[in-house]
Amino acid sequence: MVLELLQDKFCVCKIDSVKQANIQSDFFFLAKTDGEVSLVCKEADAPKDSAIVEKGWRAMRVVGALDFSLVGILADISSVLAKAGVPIFAVSTYDTDYILIKQEYLEKALSALKDGGYKIY
């Protein structure tokens, strides 16, 4: 399986309202539940009035569109990283999965994934 390491730096934010998200940005994930609103975006796009901003994340995406019938992709990636002691934050879109890793764990994660048979570009 092939993973793409994105060049941007990302942050995970806890915001009070979806209106705080810059929906004109070219890259963001927005989640709203009955208890919270979370935003993953490029650091440059973080709302200034976020309740909490956790900066310093890098992102990898699984290359290619994933069929819903496929099982275990995210589980295998997270297992490889868990065995290496690398914490993750994962998000998914209709087509693929994204794995966010804190910058200080990036080299360890890349090494573990390559040892686990993943190709990374």
Reduced to 3 states, what is the DSSP secondary structure of residue 102? strand
| pTM score, whole prediction | 0.90
Q: Other CB atoms closer than 10 Å to residue 109's CB: what's the count?
A: 25
Which architecture, in CATH terms, is 2-120?
2-Layer Sandwich (3.30)
- pLDDT, tens digit, 9 for 90 and up, residues 54-95: 999 999 999 876 655 555 689 999 999 999 999 999 999 888
